[in-house]
């Protein structure tokens, strides 16, 4: 089997992103059922130019499990959109003055700067809640409950990943660390890894796993996708930290050097730039290695892992 070229991967990512953005727009509640201000605020952040990395991963994992792309896509798309809503809510709340106090995100003023803090809190709450409404929606011909069982499994996995034992727990650790770290050594390597495993890793894993669940993956396939996404999420986070040091602020759409200025524990601060880059490559290698032996190598997952460590924004 010949490996697809990088151009083909790019086409694949762009086509998924286009589909995701169309579906997100269609799935958001609008006036008059939804008060206009909160609908506008949700839309502002949801369409602020995100990479759609997590929902792409959901669809790519579903594609890797099942060769019938059209059917698989329809099954996995609600989960993909829900995960992007959850990711967006987490950014809105993370940017608030009581948290990271960020005024710019992806080259635009953050939501609370434009709509005020109260409305930003509510828009985040609404996106998180809407994600679960969307995940739990069943067609009228819901049938015998097989699909319902898959949906429940995906909801449970996503909620655990997004909640106190996952993403929100990681945010809490980060919030406390930012308040106390006189220098980066206030958190050790195990602590840094635990924080990131929760803060970004858990939802990235759930993104991929939800795709595999919705595409009816075997327990072995779901386990392998989970292991793949664990490596991928780690690589993604290390690259994020590295880009905060060496990245191009214009391309990233945010202030670089902010982590260091805030004395945030990061991989470059703890291991230096070169070793951080090596750790990212090793994590991506581990991700690819997890795909062997469970019939997932025909999909795009390995290419996506390579892309994550090569990205510059």
Q: Work out how close the CB of 49 gets to a copy of itself at its nearest, in angstroms, rounded to a whole number.
A: 22
Q: Work out how close the CB of 140 gets to a copy of itself at its nearest, in angstroms, rounded to a whole number.
A: 12
Are the CB atoms for 26 and 80 separated by under 8 Å?
no
What is the widest separation between alpha-carbon atoms in the chain? 58
Residue 16 backbone zone (phi > 0: left; psi -120 to 50: alpha; other: beta): alpha
| DSSP label at residue 4 | P
Distance CA 208, CA 191 (A): 24
Q: Nearer Cβ to a copy of itself, position 4 or 116?
A: 116
Q: Nearer Cβ to a copy of itself, position 126 or 192?
A: 126
Q: Work out how close the CB of 9 gets to a copy of itself at its nearest, in angstroms, rounded to a whole number.
A: 33
Distance CA 272, CA 266 (A): 9
Q: Nearer Cβ to a copy of itself, position 118 or 219?
A: 118
Which residue in this structure is represented by tokens 């490996």?
3
Are the CB atoms for 108 and 48 separated by under 8 Å?
yes
Q: Work out how close the CB of 134 gets to a copy of itself at its nearest, in angstroms, rounded to a whole number.
A: 8
Q: Nearer Cβ to a copy of itself, position 103 or 129?
A: 129
Distance CA 103, CA 119 (A): 15
Q: Nearer Cβ to a copy of itself, position 37 or 263?
A: 37
Give the binding site for a copy of itself (CB under 8 A).
29, 33-35, 37-39, 42, 89, 93, 96, 98-99, 116-119, 121-122, 124-126, 128-130, 132-133, 135-138, 142, 144-146, 148-149, 151-153, 155-156, 159-160, 162-165, 168-169, 171-173, 175-176, 198
Q: Work out how close the CB of 108 gets to a copy of itself at its nearest, in angstroms, rounded to a whole number.
A: 20
Q: Nearer Cβ to a copy of itself, position 172 or 260?
A: 172
Are the CB atoms for 236 and 56 separated by under 8 Å?
no
Tokens of 24: 């997100």
Distance CA 28, CA 41 (A): 11
Q: Work out how close the CB of 32 gets to a copy of itself at its nearest, in angstroms, rounded to a whole number.
A: 10
Q: Nearer Cβ to a copy of itself, position 187 or 305?
A: 187
Are the CB atoms for 273 and 279 separated by under 8 Å?
no
Sign of CA dihedral 233, 239, 243, 248: negative
Are the CB atoms for 154 and 213 separated by under 8 Å?
yes
**How far, CA to CA in Å, does 285 sit from each of 62, 207, 238?**
21, 19, 14
Q: Work out how close the CB of 110 gets to a copy of itself at its nearest, in angstroms, rounded to a whole number.
A: 14
């Amino acid at each position: 089997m010949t490996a697809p070229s990088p151009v083909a991967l790019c086409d694949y990512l762009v086509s998924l992103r286009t589909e995701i953005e169309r579906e997100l727009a269609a799935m958001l509640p609008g006036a008059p059922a939804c008060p206009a201000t909160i609908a506008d605020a949700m839309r502002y952040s949801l369409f602020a130019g995100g990479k759609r990395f997590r929902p792409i991963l959901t669809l790519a994992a579903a594609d890797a499990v099942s060769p019938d792309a059209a059917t698989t896509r329809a099954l996995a798309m609600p989960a993909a959109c829900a995960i992007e809503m959850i990711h967006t809510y987490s950014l809105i709340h993370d940017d608030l003055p009581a948290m990271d106090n960020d005024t710019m995100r992806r080259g635009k003023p953050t939501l609370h700067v434009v709509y005020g803090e109260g409305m930003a809190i509510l828009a985040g709450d609404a996106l998180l809640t809407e994600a679960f409404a969307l995940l739990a929606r069943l067609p009228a011909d819901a049938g015998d409950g097989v699909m319902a069982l898959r949906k429940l499994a995906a909801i449970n996995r996503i909620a655990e990943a997004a909640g106190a034992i996952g993403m929100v727990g990681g945010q809490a650790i980060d919030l406390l660390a930012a308040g106390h770290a006189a220098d980066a050594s206030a958190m050790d390597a195990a602590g840094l890894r635990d924080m990131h495993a929760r803060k970004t890793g858990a939802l990235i894993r759930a993104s991929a796993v939800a795709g595999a669940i919705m595409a009816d993956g075997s327990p072995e396939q779901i386990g392998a996708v989970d292991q793949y996404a664990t490596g991928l999420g780690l690589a993604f986070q290390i690259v994020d930290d590295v880009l905060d040091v060496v990245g191009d602020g214009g391309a990233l759409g945010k202030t670089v050097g902010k982590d260091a200025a805030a004395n945030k524990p990061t991989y470059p601060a703890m291991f230096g730039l070169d070793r951080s880059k090596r750790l990212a490559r090793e994590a991506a290698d581990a991700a690819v290695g997890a795909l062997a032996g469970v019939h997932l190598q025909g999909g795009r997952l390995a290419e996506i892992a390579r892309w994550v460590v090569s990205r510059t924004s």
